[in-house]
Structures are given as structure tokens and as C-alpha cells.
Amino acid sequence: MMPVADHPELLTEDLRALGAEASSPLPAPQPAASAPGLASVSGLLPLTAAAGLSACGGGGGGGGEGGTAPTPAPPPAPPPAPPSEAEAARFLAQAGFAASTAEISKVQAQGYSAWLDEQFAATGSQGHFDWMVAKGYAIEANKNNFSGVDNTLWRKLLSSPDPLRQKVVLALSEIFVVSMAGLPISWPGFAVAAYVDMLEQRAFGTFRELIEGVSLSNAMGVYLNMRGNKKEDAATGRVPDENYARELMQLFTVGLVELKLDGTPVLDAAGKPKDTYTQAQISELARVLTGWEFDGASVTDPAFMKKPMVHLAARFSVGPKKVLSVDVPASATGPEALKIALDTLANHANVGPFFSRQLIQRLVASNPSPAYVQRVAAVFNNNGQGQRGDLKAVVRAVLLDSEARTPGSSPSSGRLREPIQRFIQWGRSFGVNSPTELWNIGDLSNPASRLGQSPLRSPSVFNFFRPGYVPPNSQLGTAQITAPEFQLCNESTVAGYLNYMQSVIANGTGEVKPSYTAELALAADAPALVQRVALLLAGGGLSPATANTIATAVATINASSDAGKLNRVQAAILLVMASPEYLIQK
């Protein structure tokens, strides 16, 4: 495999190539009526394509007489230098979504680790389920729809004062996938809200607690058919549903092939990866997972969605069972059998590297090096105090690893920012707020007119993109570099992203509006304006040449009026967010 460090240009070059393809069919966006000066931004879009910018995206005392003087103790190591503004901004984009001036200063003063400690202890905002009830969504008219769910998801992602937890929860929602596309039940919106609340509550606990919460949640029970799963019936030929058993192993815990601690496959004598489990073992686990059902389902009150599923013994498969090679005795009850199953899977040697690699991908790097995976997996296996699966320790290890803190110095350098994360970063960077407190942003899944991605709306259990995806017909593909987010990146999504963000940057979305007060104060000085925007959004990732190109374009906009100044600010933000050096988060 060709290391990314040897070819740091590959991610950006694939984006530039895609931008060139997309620039031709890109329709010229129309200026918004509320911002008459925005026409200048439309005129700059061809410039960004031409410039390759449009894209998806002490000493010791003497001895006695005749003695030998002891070796002086080495001087204490100097304390590490505080992070620069760019380093702090880059860290904040990985650990949360955005970097405000205040948070940059805080990271510089506290250091990375202390900032993480503060975030681990942070009190968040009201839970999704309770917010939906408080806002009046728990009415019969919403029994069969998702009204209120998009609102509360955007509310927390854009405004909750615990960005680290929200970033990790978004990552977990893309690993342990439940989607609004597959919940044909009453109160589906409240099922989703309760599921995300559960992820939030367990995000900094243990992996074992997390996987139990996932397994017993009503949303996952419906999505992957564990809810209502019944024992075999010889008379009818019915066998237990294998859907959750398969995905619990394949996607959530151990993966398809045996792994070394560094995440690379264990090979058999013929040099082929060794399978982790067999079809027969899936069938056995499906028997273990029978008998689970909603606890007190109601057609008039969604409150039961907050409770984990309960076990009905009459539906549980009888007789002895196995989870991989571990026996489940015939005497075990359903809950006891589930405990054996989850204990066995959570303690499997694959889980550390399998889960750690995906978390690195969601926070730091698409193609993490085996050494990076191994260091994080070792922390998963033992947090230093003998505890396995300590998610706080794992998150800390991911974010403070040398490969995370030194961009471009290893094969794990870079990831394409997800469309969701670009939008959230814009919103948090420029203080969006919702005067109605309803966060009417909606579903952003349409790739032609919106982002092509929206929280908890994955098209399948395999997420918006697979962790092992290698873009075909590209330099990345030739180098066999995994770049999962590129699975969302094509000509339509490039154009859709640019058009949507141009509108949003100018007008907000619905009643959700940004504030550009600090940027307007710099509008007369195009280089200073671009420097600020690039710091907040790209964390020092823009090259001087790119920054100069954008500043030159922005300076062509007449800033003699308030409208012109606003147009300069909007153009600077759009052009930075269109540049490959921003889109590839280093």
C-alpha cells in the first residue's frame, strides 16, 4: 500500500479532479433576494473551479573524601509549548465541530488534555426525547411520522455546549447505525430520539455498556429485527431471525476477519484472511437473541420508547446454545444468555482494533496507520488501570495520538469532511441560533439541492459510507487508500453542496440565522478577513497560495457599502468551504 505520507497530495488532487468535472454542469447559483450584493459570489464560482478550489468537498552534590561524585540528575524537561492558534483550531475541529476565538484561547491556555477533561464533565442540553415531548410533538398526529426528530438532532449538533460528546455521538450513530429509513412502527420519531439519548448517555462509559444499550434499544430492535424474534418452530419451519446476530458481529463488534492488534488481517497458511465466524455461528447467536419485545407498547403514549426491551420467556429458544466457542447452557434465561453473548463479543480480541479504527476514521483520519490503530486498541484493551473498553480513554487516545496532532506526518493524514460536519462547523463557527427554538432545518439528504447527508438518515445499516471504501478510478484507488467519505462525493453532490452552502451562508436556513459581526469588522481588509475565516474553518490548513487566491477574489467585491461588506464575508466563507485544502481535514 502506498502511504499517504509519501503522497499527501492524493486526497486533494482527487478533489481537484472531481471539482474540475463538476464545474462544467454546475448551474450558476442565483443571488438571494435578501442579500443584493451576493451576485458577486456567483461570479466567483467559476474562479474557484478555474483555481481548482471547488470540490466535494539540577545538579548533584560532591561525594565524600576519596568518593566518586554521583551523576547529576538530568534537568526537568521543559513544559510543552502551548498550541498555536492553528493547532488549537485544528484540534477543536477534530474533537468537536468548530473553533471559536474563545475556545481557541481556552485550548491554548489549558492544553489539549485539560480541555478534554472539561468536556468529559460537561453538562449538555435537554435530551432529544424530553425536548420533543416539551415542544408538543407527542401527539397522535405524529404517531406514524418523524416530526420533531430532525429539529432536535440539529439543535444539539449546532448548539449543545458539549461538542465533544455530540461529535462522538454522531460518530457512534454512524457505527451502530439506526436509520429513519427502516422504522415502520408507531412513534418512530421517539424511537430515534430515545436511541440517540442512549448513545449520548453511554458515549463516555464502557464499550460493554454501550453495546448492551444498542442491543436492547427499541429502535435497533425494530431496525435489525431483534424485537419480536421468536424461537424456532419445527411445525411451521420457522427459524430465528438472523439479522441482528449477523450485524452485531459483522458491523458492531468483531468484524468479518480475524485482526491483529494493529487492525491488519490474520492470514491463514494460504495467505488469505481468516474468517472470524461461520454461518452456523450466526444461526446459533440468533437463537440466543430470541424473546425480546417492547416494554409496555402504547398507541397513545410514546413513553415506552425510553425503556429497553424486555424478555418474554415463551419466545426464547430452548436447549443449549453457543456464542462463537462459548457455551450457553440450556438452563440460562434469555437475559442470562444475552449477557454471555455480549460479554463474549465485547471481550473478543478483534473488538479493540475493529472499533478503534472506525473511531479514528470518524474523528481524525480515513486511512489510519496500523501503528496508530495499535496504540488506540491497546488503550481499548487496558486503560492503564486494568479496565477494558473505557470509551473516555479511547477517545482521548484517538485525539491525543502523535499522528492526530501532527498533520501530514504519517500515512494516516487526512479525511474528507462529511457534508454534515461541514454544515455543523459553519453553524457553530458563525453562531447560528433559532429564535423559535425549533431549529427548522429539516432533512438535508437530497444530494442535488442540499447536502446529500442528514443525521440518522443513512440509506442502510452500512452507514452513508463503508469504513473500507477505496474510491475507484482515482489516485486514491490506485494507492489502495481507504477514504470512506468519498463514497458520498460525486458530481451531483459537489454541485449540490456548493449551491446549498451559498444559499445558507447568505440567508441561513428557515429561521436559523448566522452572525457575522466579527467578520464584518474585517471586511475592508480582504487578506485579514480570509485569514480569520481560514483559521476558524481550516485550522491553518490553507496554503498561502490558496489563501491569496481567495483574498484576491474577495477584494474584487466593492466594500464601500454594508451590503458589499456582507457580500465579502459571505464570499470568503464560501470560497474557503469550497477549497480542497479545507475539505480535506488534515
What stretch of H or E contains 549?
A: helix 544-555
Handedness of CA 418, 423, 424, 430 (dihedral sign): positive
C-alpha distances (whole Å) from 331 to each of 216, 335, 336, 365, 556 are: 22, 12, 9, 46, 78
Model-level pTM?
0.89
The pLDDT of residue 77 is 66
pLDDT at 488: 94
Q: What pLDDT sits at residue 60? A: 37
Do the beta carbons of residue 287 and residue 231 sit within 8 Å?
A: yes
Rounded Cα distance, 302 and 137, in Å: 10
C-alpha cell at 442: 429539516
> What is the Cα 549 distance to its own chain's centre?
31
How many residues are present in the chain?
Answer: 586
Give per-residue burial for 382-417: e unless 16+ CB within 10 Å, then b: ebeeeebbbbbbbbbbbbebebbbebeebbbbbbbb
CA separation for the pair 10, 33 (Å, rounded) = 39
pLDDT in the model for residue 70: 65
Q: How many CB atoms lie within 10 A of CB 190?
A: 29
The residue type of 85 is E
pLDDT tens per residue across span 326-350? 999 999 999 999 999 999 999 999 9
- Whether 294 and 385 have beta carbons less than 8 Å apart is answered as no
Cβ neighbours for 521, distance < 8 A, ≥ 6 positions apart: none
pLDDT at residue 75, as a whole number = 72
pLDDT at 66: 43
- Tally of helices (H runs) and strands (E runs) in the chain: 26, 6
What string of pLDDT tens digits covers the 586 residues of the chain? 444 434 444 555 555 555 444 443 333 333 333 333 343 444 444 444 333 333 443 333 333 344 456 667 777 766 678 999 999 999 999 999 999 999 999 999 999 999 999 999 999 999 999 999 999 999 999 999 999 999 999 999 999 999 999 999 999 999 999 999 999 999 999 999 999 999 999 999 999 999 999 999 999 999 999 999 999 999 999 999 999 999 999 999 999 999 999 999 999 999 999 999 999 999 999 999 999 999 999 999 999 999 999 999 999 999 999 999 999 999 999 999 999 999 999 999 999 999 999 999 999 999 999 999 999 999 999 999 999 999 999 999 999 999 999 887 544 488 999 999 999 999 999 999 999 999 999 999 999 999 999 999 999 999 999 999 999 988 888 889 999 999 999 999 999 999 999 999 999 999 999 999 999 999 999 999 999 999 999 998 999 999 999 999 999 999 999 999 999 999 999 999 999 999 999 8
The angle subtended at Cα 539 by Cα 538 and Cα 540, nearest 5°, is 95
CA dist 495 and 484 (Å) reads: 20
Sequence-ordered strand ranges (E) for 128-231: none
Using a 10 angstrom Cβ sphere, with 0-12 exposed, 13-18 middle and 19 or more buried, the burial of residue 121 is exposed
First to last CA, the chain: 20
DSSP strands (E only) in 270-418: 292-293, 310-311, 321-323, 326-328, 415-416
Q: What are the extents of the domains in the chain?
A: 4-57+417-585
Sole residue written with cell 480515513? 366
The set of cell numbers assigned to 333 is 434465561
Closest to 338 measured CA to CA, from 392, 291, 398? 291
- For the chain, the 3-state helix, strand and coil shares in percent, each to the nearest 5, are 50, 5, 45
